[in-house]
Amino acid sequence: MDYHITTPLNEDMAKQLKAGDTVYITGTVYTARDAAHKRLARLIREGGEMPFPVRDSIIYYVGPTPARPGRAIGSAGPTTSSRMDAYAPALLDLGLRGMIGKGSRDSETIEAMKRGSAVYFGAIGGAGALLSSAIKKSEVIAYEDLGAEAVHKLEVEDFPVVVVIDCEGNCLYDTGRRKYIEVRDG
């Protein structure tokens, strides 16, 4: 199915999304990559205040390039999500509802997603320039010293993603592979 959703992504909407669904996101999305996740994890351990409201938010694993004149952001393609797996369960336990990236996730992250009714979206790798056209505004809100890996607050409009793993732990990579083998071996 195709869905057009507006953030924040609440639990009821997240539960409707199934692996394989196409979703167009409008609203606020936050960015964070490896270095930012390490700092966020330290904040969680120390009981510090998060730089953005985690509950019902979506984090995009991206390190955008600088914006050209007249643009909100430069190329903004997804990075490999598994690098955030060491940190994702703690954020999911705080109510993070969605993550956008590319590639597979580990079992601990998937269990935390199921526990917290969260979804993992895939964005098309190699299409950073195209994806950036759906980003209407970008501002650094934390860890500016990290450069491209700083936490950004993005305003997006019809940002295209696919549900890779849904709240029940169903994974498009697994079901898609099985369907391919069935058709191939027919």
pLDDT value, residue 176: 66
Cα 14 from Cα 98, distance rounded (Å): 8
Instruction: Give the pLDDT band (50/70/90) at residue 180.
Output: low
**pLDDT tens digits, one per residue of 105-119:** 999 999 999 999 999
Instruction: Give the pLDDT band (50/70/90) at residue 63.
Output: confident
Cα 164 from Cα 104, distance rounded (Å): 9
Domain covering 2-185: architecture = Alpha-Beta Barrel (3.20)
Higher pLDDT, 168 or 68: 168
**pLDDT tens digits, one per residue of 121-158:** 999 877 788 899 999 999 999 999 999 899 999 999 99
pLDDT at 13 over 80: yes
pLDDT value, residue 118: 98
pLDDT value, residue 150: 95
**Spans of all domains in the chain:** 2-185
Q: Are 97 and 53 in contact (CB under 8 A)?
A: no
pLDDT value, residue 151: 97
Instruction: Give the pLDDT band (50/70/90) at residue 58.
Output: very high
Mean pLDDT, the chain, as a whole number? 93
**pLDDT tens digits, one per residue of 19-54:** 999 999 999 999 999 999 999 999 999 999 999 999
